[in-house]
Amino acid sequence: MSLSIVILAAGEGKRMKSATAKVMHHLAGRPLLEHVIDAAIQLNPNKLVVVAGNDEGQVVPFLECNQIETVIQNEQLGTGHALMQAKIAMTDSTQVLVLYGDVPLTKVTTLQALIDCADQNGIGILTTKIADPTGYGRIVRNDSGRVKCITEQKDADERVLAIKEVNSGIMLLPSQWMLSSLDRLGNDNAQGEYYLTDIIALAVADGIEVNTICCIDEAEVAGVNTRCQLAKLERHYQALQADRLMTAGVTLADPNRIDVRGELNAGNDIFIDINVIFEGKVSIASHVSIGANCIIKDSEIAEGSVILPNSMIDSSVVGAGSSIGPFARLRPGTILREKAKIGNFVEVKNTNVGVGSKVNHLSYIGDTDMGAGVNIGAGTITCNYDGVNKHRTVIGDNAFIGSDTQLVAPVTVGEGSTIGAGTTLRKDAPAGQLTLTKNIQRTVEGWKSPEKKK
């Protein structure tokens, strides 16, 4: 037995009212279609084909970039017509699994159960029972409970509209029979479309066995047609993430106010305050505390660190026992060793910070290699950019940089040296000595402050 997977993703998604194709709208930070492709790949198919529209909706470039085989459905004449474009998927497999690009949260285990439910000549349909089935195709059964057909909302009468069991769109079909049957689909229906769902009545007439798997969690088969449905599914997905984290030993101040848009690996006894967003691949070791309103992307936070409120951390590594924020920004390439401290209104980029070094207030540190035990005074700026090139600043262990200093790169501050407050350092500062550039302070004799005219 061999399996091909076809993902239907050519629909315009008119109900989204968007210039972006529906399947490219994001759920948990990734296109809907990417969620479906990920699930498909995990099933190890012989062939994976996506049916895309010939549109400006960014689907084709996305598929090209991910090296996914694509067929184009030039006109959107319905789901049946879409599958006809993917006959190449049927020629070299015994079964075809049809997935929808706008049904993003189906679990791989559920899809596997569907594959297992039908023998290689039978059909499997993933269904669900929902309180409000409006918009979905209804699963119509005969008196003995066998599936007769699927009827679309717009073609249904009162009796059929009352059916709560709906078609998820996800189906497993025998390839050879499909190859000869797709051309038998008509478009004499309310929407004038070639419905894939009509294939079920044809199968029943041909004596093909139709099995169903009824999915308990309706979110797994929920389709996104409107922005309201997208928002509901997003919340559902985030609730699942919150449950997973709490089960794994993370305390959430409010499970309704956390967003995981990617992969978050977390240790135990972590505290996460409200409105924290995780993007990309983030790992947080045990005993870390994250304050309100932080955004953490593609980063690693080591054991026992404290991230204070309103901080942003992007593509950075935070060493154990460090303290970040409040209002700190770690930009890509920031690597902090243990017990570093980055305080309020500090921006750090492409920089190594040694053990126990501190940048506590109002500073910009870019393209810098900083040793251990360094203290950077308030308002220090590394002038790393000459308008064309970036240059590095090197600061030795235990150096002390006075407040309001500019370090004009490339420049090196020697170990244990002290830079006087307000210095503009254009040449290297020797180790262990005081270097400063400010004029000597003087008081002007006889100076009077101007008087206001009466």
- The residues annotated with a catalytic role in the active site are 361
Is residue 78 near ligand UD1 by the rule CB under 6 A? yes
Name the residue nearer to Ca ion (CB basis): 225 or 403. Answer: 225
Is residue 136 near ligand UD1 by the rule CB under 6 A? yes
Is residue 76 near ligand UD1 by the rule CB under 6 A? yes
- Minimum Å distance from CB 39 to Ca ion? 17
- Minimum Å distance from CB 142 to ligand UD1? 19
- CA angle 20-185-53, nearest 5°? 15
Written as one letter, the residue type at 54 is N
Between residue 250 and residue 269, which ones bind ligand UD1 under the rule CB under 6 A? none
- Minimum Å distance from CB 221 to Ca ion? 11
- Minimum Å distance from CB 79 to Ca ion? 9
Name the residue nearer to ligand UD1 (CB basis): 229 or 310. Answer: 229
Cβ atoms 411, 405 nearer than 8 A: no
Between residue 156 and residue 175, which ones bind ligand UD1 under the rule CB under 6 A? 166-169
**CA proximity to 252, closest of 234, 239, 262, 233:** 239
Written as one letter, the residue type at 125 is I
- In the shown chain, the binding pattern of residues 27 to 56 toward ligand UD1, with x for contact by CB under 6 A and - for none, equals ------------------------x-----
Residue 137 interaction partner, one of ligand UD1, Ca ion, none, beta carbon < 5-8 Å per kind: ligand UD1
Distance in angstroms (rounded) separating the CA atoms of residues 179 and 197: 15
Is residue 371 near ligand UD1 by the rule CB under 6 A? no
Task: Write the DSSP assignment of 302-345 as a string of letters.
Answer: -TT-EE-SS-EEES-EE-TT-EE-SSEEE-TT-EE-TT-EEEEE
Between residue 177 and residue 236, which ones bind ligand UD1 under the rule CB under 6 A? 195-197, 223, 225
Name the residue nearer to ligand UD1 (CB basis): 82 or 250. Answer: 82
Is residue 223 near Ca ion by the rule CB under 5 A? yes
Name the residue nearer to Ca ion (CB basis): 225 or 344. Answer: 225
Name the residue nearer to Ca ion (CB basis): 152 or 314. Answer: 152
**CA proximity to 369, closest of 329, 339, 328, 337:** 337
* CB atoms inside a 10 Å sphere around CB 86: 25
Residue pointed to by tokens 């045990």: 286
- CA angle 241-322-385, nearest 5°? 100
Cβ atoms 336, 356 nearer than 8 A: no
**CA proximity to 260, closest of 273, 270, 248, 245:** 245
Name the residue nearer to ligand UD1 (CB basis): 22 or 358. Answer: 22
Q: How far is CA 280 from CA 205, 259, 297, 300, 351, in A?
A: 49, 11, 6, 11, 21
- Minimum Å distance from CB 104 to ligand UD1? 10
Positions touching ligand UD1 (CB under 6 A) are 8-11, 23, 51, 73, 76-79, 81-82, 100-103, 136-137, 150, 152, 166-169, 195-197, 223, 225
